[in-house]
Copies of this chain bind each other. A is one copy, B any other.
Amino acid sequence: MRRTTLKDLAEMLQISTSTVSRALKNHPDISNAVKTKVKEAAETFNYVPNDFAVNFRKKSSKVIGLIVPEITMFFIPSIINGISSVLNKEGYHFFILSSNDSFDTEKEHLETCINSRVDGILISLTNETKDSEHLKKLKEMEIPAIIFDKTVPKSIFESVIFDNVKNAELCADKLINHGCKNILGIFGDENLEITQSRLVSFETRIKQFPGIILNIIYCQSADLVKEKLDILLNDDSIDGFFAMSDETLMGLHSSLIKRSLNNTNKKVVSISEGTLPKYLDETYEYQINDGYEMGTIAAKKLMDNIKTLYTDNFIDSNKCYYL
């Protein structure tokens, strides 16, 4: 279907394209008479500016690339909300690209962003990423970038990160103030910088109080938290828990609930969107409405539609697929 263009409007109104263009953007040079005339025509003929042409001409895409190491339930929703709230106001949009914690994928995504001429990049680095060498190209290309959350020492771009030291210390203080004497600190992957900085700061603070016993466990995943805790919780003398992140907290949760339910023989059954189950345990039974599966199916159907659009046998259906 051919869409109305500036030229179409110009011909219809017997004026030049430049006049139409300017009228549409309220250029002060244009008389009100012409402006209203043009706008009416644009309205009635359903004129929509072609962003391709505009971008091409202006060399600006109004698109930002968001590259993250992984798509988790803890961080992604809030970060997306935060970013949207700022960008949408300014007329920008953003792609989400997940590196799946692979440095190579991260590099690929960076290329993709460069190729599609994004106006800027927001990036959180993978654990495999050791320096910001691969970001140098962005500097050359003059593509602004901001690193957030996961960064590297002496990065070449501005970055926004959490103050792990301060926060871990504050947490330690809370437990201390509650008078906890036997504390369990639940930490994530031992090899990550983020774990180390939180650990050191938490431990240092606690150690200032000789009367307090501190036990530390490292868990690469929420699953491991559960496993280790199922044993540790038998020690009923633990009176304070510190979870270094939402993920470790979910592991702790799971164990606590399991114990409380096992004592009572109560059953919980749930319909789940597919996100919680991997963080909870077999105490629960789920009927899973898997968002991942829905996403793949919907996307596949869409791809099919797009492909057949260019052939003669375009399927115009309104079928409903049940999962």
Complexed CA–CA distance, A161 and B140 (Å): 46
Given A257-B253, A306-B144: A295 and B174 interface contact (C-beta under 8 Å)? no
Residues 114-151 of chain A: 1 if any B CB is under 8 Å from the residue's CB, otherwise 0? 11110111100000000000000001111011101101
* Count of A interface residues, CB-CB < 8 Å: 142
Is A193 part of the binding interface, using a Cβ–Cβ cutoff of 8 Å?
no
Residue pair A83, B295 in contact (C-beta under 8 Å): yes
Complexed CA–CA distance, A180 and B264 (Å): 12
Residue pair B98, A81 in contact (C-beta under 8 Å): yes
Pick the residue among B78, B139, B161, B302 that contacts A144 (CB under 8 A).
Answer: B302
Residue pair B174, A318 in contact (C-beta under 8 Å): no
Residue of B at shortest CB range from A179?
A: B267
Among the stretches A18-26, A30-38, A43-51, the one at the interface with B is A43-51
Pick the residue among B74, B145, B272 that contacts A249 (CB under 8 A).
Answer: B272
- A322 neighbours in B (Cβ, 8 Å): 161-163, 166
**Would you list which residues of chain A between 49 and 84 have a CB under 8 Å from chain B?**
49-53, 55-56, 59, 61, 63-64, 71-84
Residue of B at shortest CB range from A63?
A: B95
- A320 neighbours in B (Cβ, 8 Å): 151, 155, 158-161
Is A323 part of the binding interface, using a Cβ–Cβ cutoff of 8 Å?
yes
- A85 neighbours in B (Cβ, 8 Å): 292, 295-296, 299
- A260 neighbours in B (Cβ, 8 Å): 256-257, 259-260
- A259 neighbours in B (Cβ, 8 Å): 260
Residue pair B269, A305 in contact (C-beta under 8 Å): no
Interface of A, secondary structure class, is mixed
Pick the residue among B53, B267, B309 that contacts A142 (CB under 8 A).
Answer: B309
- A157 neighbours in B (Cβ, 8 Å): 318
- A166 neighbours in B (Cβ, 8 Å): 322
Complexed CA–CA distance, A151 and B98 (Å): 28
Nearest CB of B to A58, in Å: 9
Residue pair B82, A162 in contact (C-beta under 8 Å): no
Counting chain B CB atoms within 10 Å of each CB, the highest count among A50, A248, A267 belongs to A267
Q: Besides the contacts A243-B271, A253-B253, what 9 more A-B pairs have beta carbons closer than 8 Å?
A: A3-B141, A52-B117, A53-B56, A78-B292, A80-B96, A85-B299, A144-B309, A163-B323, A175-B269
